[in-house]
Each structure stands twice: as C-alpha cells, then as structure tokens.
Amino acid sequence: MTKAGPASVEFRNVSMRYGAVTAVDNVNFTIEAGKLVTLLGPSGCGKTTTLRMIAGLEIASEGQILIGGKDVTKLSAADRDVSMVFQSYALFPHMSVLENAAYGPTVKGLGKEQAKQMALEKLALVGLKGFENRYPSELSGGQQQRVAVARALVLEPQVLLFDEPLSNLDAKLRRRVREEIRELQQDLNLTVAYVTHDQEEALAVSDRIIVMSNSRIAQEGAPRELYEQPANAFVADFIGDANLVGVTVKSVAGGRAEVAIGSAMISLPARDLGPGPAKVAIRPEALLLSGTAGPASLPGKISKCAYLGNHLDVMVETEIGELFVVQYGARTMLEPGAPVAVSFAESGVTLIPPA
C-alpha cells in the first residue's frame, strides 16, 4: 500500500440543504495538509454536517469539496481516503478489539495476516497492546476511544476526522486524551478536522479554529487570534467569556479610536471602524476593580461575589449594566453593596462592529 500522506481539504461555496432547512450555507475554507483544524460552534450550527460532508457521509447539495486538490464532491464515503472517529466511537460490538482495528484493511481485501499486522501496529501506537482479544464492552470509555482512533488510523488516511471525540469521557480524562490526540497528530503529521462545542478544547488542540454559527462561518483563525481579536459579538461571547457593551466611537486617529464606554473614555485599536455606535467585548479578567475613580473608569457597586478557589467571580452594577469580573489570586471577598471603580486593562478589551 502506498502511503498517500496528509492532504489538504478545501470547501468551495458548499451548501447542504434538507428540504427547506439549510444546514450548511455557502461555506468556504481550506484545511492545510498536516494541520489540526477545529470546527467549533453551538449545537445545530452545521459543524457536524460539515464534517460528515468531508467524510462523504453526506453529499453536498451545492459547491465543491476537494481533498488533496482532487474533486471528491460526488464520491461516496467508501471512495474517499478519509477516516472518522465517531462521537459514540461506533465500535462493532460483535468484533474483538483486533477485529475492529483490522476491519478497514480486511474489507479492502488485504490479506488476513497483513491486516492483523497493520492493526497491531496502530493498537500499539495508542497504547492498547495486550487488549487485542477483548470485546468493546469489556473496555473502559477511554480505552474504547483509543480503539476507535486506532481503527481510523490503520488505513493511514489522507484526512482524519473527529466528531466530538471527548464528549463521552469524564472531565479529568478529557484533558489527557486531547493532549494525546494532539501529540499523535503532530507525530504522524496528520490532517485532522475536529468537531467540538467546547471552546476550551478547541483552543487547546487546534492549529486553526473555524467558528460556525447558524450554518455559516462566523470567524476563522488561530486560537489566539479568535480570543484576542474576535470579529463579532458571537465569536467574542462563544470563545471565552465576554461582557458585550454598546459604546460610541468618538474619533479615530492613527489606527486608534477614542471610545466612550458610559462616562469613561478609553483608547482602543480602531480595527477599521469609523466614528459612531459600536460594541466592545470586555474579557472578565480585563476589568480591574479599585477604590479610586479616574477619567478612564466607571463607578459601580458590588452586587454579587462568589468564591471559586483560584479566583473570585464578581458582578458589578454600573451605569452601562451589570458587568462580570474575574479576579485572580488570593483576595478578600467583596461585600455586596460596596462601591468600587471599574477600570480597563491594556488588553482584553476589543472593539467590534455593532450587531
């Protein structure tokens, strides 16, 4: 078998319709070969449909899909060099771990011995040596997940797809498995498309993230870019927490804007916005609480304060509405009703267009 190596995936104006419902609406993106790209979004945003279109489990209603530069739009899943790890793992319950892993080469018609060797190699890779003869029902959730990964890897596909692979694992295990997936992807130089609705997971594993909302792409970029430069209110709110506040841009000069947030005036990167109404996304950790008020701060009053171990969650009542503030480090609890001044950190406050 010739090893095809990782391939890029390209969507050109792809749409998917079921009757009157549009699940994916005119989507364009490229996944570079050897990169891990996450499709991130709330449930029903079209991310899983997009993934299934890469796999060939859904045939796009419109547009073109290319894998490795080759048009595969009309090819069925069995004809594409793509494997998938399912949310439910979809391990065949009547087959042993080895038979599951060897399924791909077996149905491809490779010899029994060769199929077994290929399966054993990948099972060892995911750390399941010695489990070959067990049945899926005899494995833990994490082990089942590894079998699913091994099974998908055996044919060394050009593209590997993950559909919410961690959703059936407990919180502690999730962190470990996602690191393993990332290591595997980098070690084997795989092209991976990864669907999740967990933004933290997406930030942790991805080279790039495609945020989807209402069947469309809301923003695409590197994790850091998305967090620090959200293109719109949806992305700001979906990735990390954000206070979204309506503001007025007073003036723009030299790429910086003078912005009135309530009675406070601050200077922010203009991001191509002109004077007029706009919004800012303020990360909770970018709000600083102090006793003394200044021109760049807002007067407020503590309404709630919750202790969460390494940080405090504080709600502050101000003239622009209730603001959510996170304070890290050991601090004393704040009394509800106490007056405070809220000022803004250098980073973590981003100007975004009005909705």
Partner 1 sequence: MAPATRLVLLIGWIGYALMPWYLVEGMGLTDLGWLAGYPFGKAGSALALALSGQAPWLLPVGIALAVATAFMGSADRGRAAKVLIGAGLLGMLLFFAQAFAIVLKDQGIPWLAALLGGAGAAQRGMGGGGFLTLLALLLLLCHGLAYRGICRGDLFTTSSIGIVILLIGLFIFFPVWIILKSALIEADGTFAPAAFLARFLDASIWGLGCVTSNTNCGVAWNTLVLAVLCGVITTLLGLACALLILRTGMPGKRIMRALTVLPIITPPFVIGLALILLFGRAGAASTLLYEWFGVPRSRWLYGLPGVLLAQVLAFAPIAFLVLIGVVQGISPSLEEASQTLGAKRWQTFRTVTWPLLRPGIANAFLLGFVESMADFGNPLVLGGNFEVLSTKIFFAVVGASYNQGQAAVLAIILLAFTLGAFWVQQRWLGDKSYTTVTGKGDAGLPTPLPRRVSWLATAAIVPWVALTVVIYVVILIGGFVRNMGRDFTPTLEHYRTGFAIDFSNGIFFEGSAWSSFFTTVKVAAISAPLTALIGLLTAYLLTRQRFRGRGALEFATMLSFAIPGTVLGVAYILAFNVPPIEITGTGLILIIAFVFRNMPVGVRSGIAGLSQIDKSLDEASTTLRARSFTTLWRVVLPLLKPALVSALVYSFVRSMTAVSAVIFLVSAEYNLSTAYIVGRVEAGEFGLAIAYSSALILFMAFGIALIQFLVGERKLGRRKIVALSSSVSNPITQGAAS
- DSSP assignments along 83-120, one per residue: EEE-TT----TTS-HHHHHTHHHHHHT--HHHHHHHHH
From the CB of 12, what's the least distance to partner 1, in Å? 19
The residues of the shown chain that bind partner 1, judged by CB under 8 A, are: 55-57, 59, 74, 76-79, 82-84, 86-88, 90-94, 103-104, 107-108, 151-152, 155, 161
Helix, coil or strand: residue 333: coil
Cβ proximity to partner 1: between 99 and 220 the closer is 99
Work out how close the CB of 85 gets to partner 1 at its nearest, in angstroms, rounded to a whole number.
9
111-120: b (≥16 Cβ within 10 Å) or e: eeeebbebbb
Task: List C-alpha distances in Å: 4 to 37, 108, 191, 192.
Answer: 20, 16, 12, 15
Q: Which residues contact 136 (CB under 8 A, 6 or more apart)?
A: 89, 91, 92, 93, 95, 97, 100, 144, 147
Nearer to partner 1, 75 or 288 (CB): 75
What is d(CA 44, CA 118) in angstroms, rounded to the nearest whole number?
37
User: How many CB atoms are located within 10 Å of the residue 8 CB?
Assistant: 17
**Comparison of 110 and 296: residue with beta carbon closer to partner 1:** 110
Which of residues 14 and 55 has its CB atom nearest to partner 1 in the complex? 55
Query: Could you tell me the smallest distance in angstroms from the CB atom of residue 57 to partner 1?
Result: 5
Signed CA dihedral, 121, 125, 131, 133: sign only:
negative
Nearer Cβ to partner 1 (56/300): 56
Cα angle, residue 146 at apex, residues 145 and 150 outer, rounded to 5°: 120
Nearer to partner 1, 95 or 326 (CB): 95
Across the chain, the runs of DSSP E, i.e. the strands, are 9-18, 21-31, 36-40, 62-67, 70-71, 82-85, 159-163, 191-196, 208-213, 216-221, 243-253, 256-261, 264-269, 276-282, 287-290, 297-307, 311-318, 321-328, 339-344, 349-352
3-state secondary structure of 207: coil
> Nearer Cβ to partner 1, position 90 or 288?
90
CA separation for the pair 208, 186 (Å, rounded): 14
Closest contact distance (angstroms) between CB of 154 and partner 1 is 8
Smallest distance from partner 1 to CB 103, Å: 5
Q: Which is nearer to partner 1, 86 or 131 (CB)?
A: 86
Choose between 74 and 301: whose C-beta lies nearer to partner 1: 74
Instruction: Using DSSP bridges, classify how beta strands 36-40 and 191-196 pair: parallel, antiparallel or unpaired.
Output: parallel
Closest separation in Å from C-beta 67 to partner 1: 13
Q: How far is the CB of 302 from partner 1 (least distance, A)?
A: 40
| 71, 135, 239, 254 from 66: Cα distances, Å | 4, 37, 29, 42
Least distance CB 165 / partner 1 (angstroms): 13
Q: Min. distance of Cβ 94 from partner 1 in angstroms?
A: 5
